[in-house]
Structure 1
Amino acid sequence: MRRILVPVCLMLSACMPAAPTETATRAAQFGESTMPPMKTFAVPRPSLPQQSNSDIARDFLDLTFMLESGRRLPYFSRFEGPVSVHVTGTPPANLRLDLNRLLSRLRNEAGLDIHLTNAAEANITIEAVSRAEIRRNLPQAACFVVPNISKLSEYRKARRTGRTDWAQVKERKRLAIFLPSDAAPQEVRDCLHEELAQALGPLNDLYRLPDSVFNDDNVHTVLTGFDMMILRLYYAPELRAGMTRSEVAARLPALLARINPAGQNLSPRHDGNTPRSWVLAIQTALGPGTGPAERRRAAEQALQIARTMGWKDHRMAFSHYAMGRLTQRLDDGVAQEHFIAADHYYSLTPNTALHRAYVASQLAAYALAQGRGEDALTLASRHLGTAERYENAALLSTLMLLRAEALELLGRSREAMTVRLDSLGWARYGFGADWAVHAKLREVAALNPVNGPS
C-alpha cells in the first residue's frame, strides 16, 4: 500500500487573514486562457548512494525479508527473466510519459530487463481506476500492488485468500498495480514509482533510511540513487528467487564489492532500529482516522520515544516536524519552534536536503505571515534547486509562490508577477486541475499581511 503519511506543502491555517477576499485577485489573474502549459521534469539527476556497504547489506536484508506490518518473510522473491509491463483501465494523459521515463531509469540505473507490452498477459499490469474504486477496496490507500492477479475485479475475489499473501510468494510471475486515474499528475507519478518499486523489489519500509522511497515518511516519492542500488542488488545474477535470508546474506558482501566498490571504504553509521511503538505513534499522529487531540498525544509520544532513544537523526527531526504540523492551529509560536528543531536535526543527517526543503516551506510561510519579507524570500529561494532536483513540482511551485509573495511584500511587484507566472506550470503538474492551482494561489497569498489583517 502506498504511504499514508503525507508531508504535503500545507500552509499555516492559524495565520490565515480574516478577510481572504483580497487574495482572490491572485487567482483571478490567471484564467483558463492565460494559465501556462504544464511543466514536466526532463533529465533525472539522482545522487549516488553514500552509505557503506555494510549498512546497505543490513538495509537490504531488513527491506527484503520483512513486511511493513513486521511480519517476517521466509523467502527472497523476485521475477526471473525479462519483466513485461502492460497498462490498462483509463490511464491519465501523463502516465505513459512518466512510465516510459521510469522504465528507462530502471534499465539504465538498476540494470533491469523491463519493457512495455501491448499484450494483456504481462508480468505487471498497471490498471488506472478512479480514486473511489481504490478506496472501496482499501479505504486508506492512494494506490496499491497485489501479487498473483491482473485486475481489480480479481482482487475482490482473492483478497481474503492465500493467493494474495506475499509471504507465500517465492518467484514473482504476475501482479497488478492499481493507480488513481483522476488524481494530480504528480500523485499518479509518485504512486507509479513507489508501487512499481515494490512490485519489483522490497516489500518493507524503514524509517531509518533518509534517502529512499522505502520509508513511510513519504518525503521521497521518486526513486533515488539508493533505491536503484537496492533494485540492482535484487536482480543481480548471484541471487535467485526462493533463497533464504542466510543464503542472501552470505552473498551480499562480494556482490556489494562488485556493484558498489566506493562503499567498501566508507565507515558504517550503525543507525539503530526503529521501535514499533514510535512507528505506531507516528502513524496515529499523521495517518487518517483519529481526532486532533489523539493525534497530538501520539505526536508527543513519538517525540518522547525519540528523545529516549537518544536520536539525533532524521527520525528526531520528523518527530518535531509532526509536532509542528499538529500544533499550528493551537499555538503557532510553539509550532514554529518545532519546525526550527526539525531543521536542526535534519542538518545533522546526510541526504536530507529534500526534508529541509519541506521544513523551509513551513518556516517561510511563518516569516511571510509575520511580515518578515527578507527572511521569507531567503528561505523560499534557498531550496528551489532541491525541489527541482528531486522532481517535486508541488513543493517547487509552493516555494515559488512563497517567494513571489515575499517579493510582493518587499515592494518588488514586477519580479513577483514573473515568479508567480513561472510557478503555475509546475503547480499544474503538482496539484492538477486549474481549481486546485487557484486554491494554492489563494492559500499562499492569504499569508501575506498586505492582503488583509492576520
Structure 2
Amino acid sequence: MRSGRPSFLIPFALVLAGCMAPVSNTQKPVPGNAVQRGASAGDVATRRINMPTTLPAMKAFPATRTTQPIRSNSLIMGDFLDLSFQLESGRTLPVLSRFEGPITVGVTGRAPARMQADLDQLLMRLRQEAGIDIRRGASPSTGRISVELIPKRKLQRHVPHAACFVAPNVTGWDDYLRNRGTAHTDWTRLRQRKQMAVFIPSDVSPQEMRDCLHEEIAQALGPVNDLYRLENSVFNDDNFHTVLTGFDMLILRAYYAPEMRSGLSRAEVAQRLPAVLERLNPAGGTGTPRLTPGTPSAWKQAIVDALGQGRSLNARQAAARRAVSIARQKGWRDTRLAFSLFALGRLNMKSDSQAAFAAFNEAEAIYRDRAGTGLHAAHMGVQLAAYALSAGHADQAITTIDRHLPAVRQAQNAALLATLLMIKAEALNHLGQSSDAARVRLDSLGWARYGFGSNAQVGARLQEIAAIAPG
C-alpha cells in the first residue's frame, strides 16, 4: 500500500498562494538582475475580477501517445529492478508479481462521467502503449482491479496521509478495512496478483481523480516503489508527473512481456531484461543493467521533514536547507538538487522572498538543462512568472509563461496550464492588451474547471492572481 499523491507534495497548488501575499518592507526579486521594492499590504490596490455568470465548458485533454523514453536501456534495466523489487519503505520484494491473463477493471461508487472517460482513455493507452490485455469488466462491480470512489474525509480517516492508494488481495473498502495490517495485504508475501483495489476520493477535482487513476492503476499492475532520481515518470515521489509517460509505459510493457512471469527472482529478471528491452526499445541500445546508487536516507528524511506537516516553519526551513546541503555535498546536479531547491523556495516565500526567488531560479535552470524535465521547470516557472507580474515586469512574465506552456500541455496538467494562462491574462491586461487578456482568461477557465473542480475554487484562483497584479 502506498500514498498515491500525498497532499504535502502537490507541486504548485499550495505554493502559488504563498507568493501572492504582498511582501512588506523587503526586496522583491524578479527575473533577471532587477530588484524592485515590494509594497506594503496597505499600498496594494487589489483589482477584483467578476466571475462570468456562465463558465465555458470544461476542457479535457485528448488521448495522445507520449514521447519515447530518453534513458538508455542499461539505466532503464537498473530502474526496473529497483522499482520492482523494493517498496518505498525499503522492504525487499522477493519475487516479481503481476497479473497473469486478461485483466478487467470495475468501478464502484459515485463516478462522474468525466472520470469514466479518463479511465477509458487510460485503459486504451495501456492496451496500445504497454501491450496489456486490460479492459472494463462485464459489470461495474466486477474486475480484477476494483476502483472504488469514497469521500476524501472517509478515506483519510483511516489512511491519513494518502490522497489515493492501492491495496492487494482485497475487493473493496470494507474488505480492505477487515484485512489491513495483516499478512493478507502484505506486498512482500505476494507471488501473483489476482485482485487489487484502488481507492480514490469522490469529492476532488476531475484532474485529481485522473491523476489517481494513472498512478494507482499503474501500481496495481506493476512497480510499487518510487525513485527520486527518475526525471520523466509517475514513479517518482516528487509527483510532478501525474500522467503515465513513455518511460512508464515501457516499464509496464516489460513487466508484461512474455519473457516475464510471476514468481521470478531479481536475478532471473535481470538475466531476461537485456533481451526484453532491446526488443521493446531498440533506440535505447544494448548492455547489461547499470545500477544507480540509492538516494541516501538522510536526504529523503530531510525532504519529508521539509514538506511534511506537524513541524514549525523554522524546523521545516532548516530541513530544506539540509536537503540542499546534502545534494550539493553529493555533487548532484539532477532532479534531487532541483527538488531540494524547490522545497527551500516554497518555505521561504513569505519570510525571505530573495532566497525563495534564488531557489526557484536555480531549480528552473537545472530542470531546463536536463532532458525530460520540462514540466518540472514549468512548476518553477509559474513562481517566477508570478514574481515578475507582481513587480510590474509583465513582458518577462509572458516570456516565462510562453516558454513553459508546451511542456505543460504535453504533460496534460490542466491546473498548472490554467494558472499560467491566468497570470498571462493579468500580464496582458497590465500592458493594455485588454482584448487579448480577455481571450486568454476565457481559455484558462475551461482548463480551470478540469484542474480545480468547483466554480468557487476557480474564482479563488482568479482572485489570487488578480491580487498580485500591479494596481
TM-score normalised to the size of structure 2? Answer: 0.92
Check conservation: 2:59, 2:450, Cα contact below 8 A: yes
1:358 CA displacement = 0.7
Matched, 1:36 2:56: yes
**For the residues of structure 1 that align with 2:376 and 2:118, how far apart are their CA atoms?**
23
**For the residues of structure 2 that align with 1:268 and 1:168, how far apart are their CA atoms?**
26
Q: CA RMSD in A?
A: 1.8
Q: 1:15 to 1:109 in 2, by over 3 A?
A: closer
**For the residues of structure 2 that align with 1:20 and 1:417, how far apart are their CA atoms?**
26
**For the residues of structure 1 that align with 2:208 and 2:142, how far apart are their CA atoms?**
27
What are structure 2's unaligned runs of at least 5 residues? 23-40
Q: In the alignment, which residue of structure 2 is the partner of 1:257?
A: 278
Matched, 1:317 2:352: no
Q: Aligned to 1:11, which of 10, 16, 37?
A: 16
SS at match of 2:48: helix
SS at match of 1:417: helix
**For the residues of structure 2 that align with 1:121 and 1:412, how far apart are their CA atoms?**
54
Check conservation: 2:232, 2:373, Cα contact below 8 A: yes
SS at match of 1:57: helix
Moved more, 182-191 or 348-357: 348-357
**For the residues of structure 2 that align with 1:45 and 1:381, how far apart are their CA atoms?**
23
Q: In the alignment, which residue of structure 2 is the partner of 1:391?
A: 412
Q: In the alignment, which residue of structure 1 is the partner of 2:73?
A: 53
**For the residues of structure 2 that align with 1:268 and 1:316, how far apart are their CA atoms?**
25
Aligned residue identity for 1:152: W
**For the residues of structure 2 that align with 1:192 and 1:226, how far apart are their CA atoms?**
17
Moved more, 165-174 or 278-287: 278-287
Q: In the alignment, which residue of structure 1 is the partner of 2:31?
A: none
Aligned residue identity for 2:67: S
* 1:115-154 equivalences in 2 (<5 Å): 115-119=135-139, 120-154=141-175
Q: Aligned to 1:2, which of 1, 4, 24?
A: 4
SS at match of 2:347: helix
**For the residues of structure 2 that align with 1:73 and 1:266, how far apart are their CA atoms?**
25
1:153 CA displacement = 1.0
Render the CA deviation track for 1:229-256: whole Å, top value 9, x for unaligned: 0000000010110111001111111111
Q: Aligned to 1:189, which of 210, 220, 228?
A: 210
**For the residues of structure 2 that align with 1:104 and 1:68, how far apart are their CA atoms?**
28
Check conservation: 2:418, 2:447, Cα contact below 8 A: yes
1:93 CA displacement = 2.8
1:370 CA displacement = 0.8
Check conservation: 2:21, 2:350, Cα contact below 8 A: no
SS at match of 2:408: helix
SS at match of 1:125: strand
Matched-pair identity in %: 51
1:43 CA displacement = 3.3
- Total equivalences in the alignment: 447
What are structure 1's unaligned runs of at least 5 residues? none
**For the residues of structure 1 that align with 2:422 and 2:290, how far apart are their CA atoms?**
38
Q: 1:261 to 1:216 in 2, by over 3 A?
A: same
Q: In the alignment, which residue of structure 2 is the partner of 1:74?
A: 94
**For the residues of structure 1 that align with 2:250 and 2:95, how far apart are their CA atoms?**
20
* 1:225-304 equivalences in 2 (<5 Å): 225-264=246-285, 272-304=293-325
Aligned residue identity for 1:303: V
Q: 1:88 to 1:272 in 2, by over 3 A?
A: same
Q: 1:337 to 1:165 in 2, by over 3 A?
A: same
Q: Aligned to 2:181, which of 125, 149, 160?
A: 160
Render the CA deviation track for 1:279-313: whole Å, top value 9, x for unaligned: 11111211333331221111111111101110011
Aligned residue identity for 1:238: E
Q: 1:149 to 1:269 in 2, by over 3 A?
A: closer
Q: In the alignment, which residue of structure 2 is the partner of 1:366?
A: 387
**For the residues of structure 1 that align with 2:159 and 2:45, how far apart are their CA atoms?**
41
Q: In the alignment, which residue of structure 2 is the partner of 1:220?
A: 241
Q: 1:45 to 1:360 in 2, by over 3 A?
A: farther
**For the residues of structure 2 that align with 1:293 and 1:437, how far apart are their CA atoms?**
32
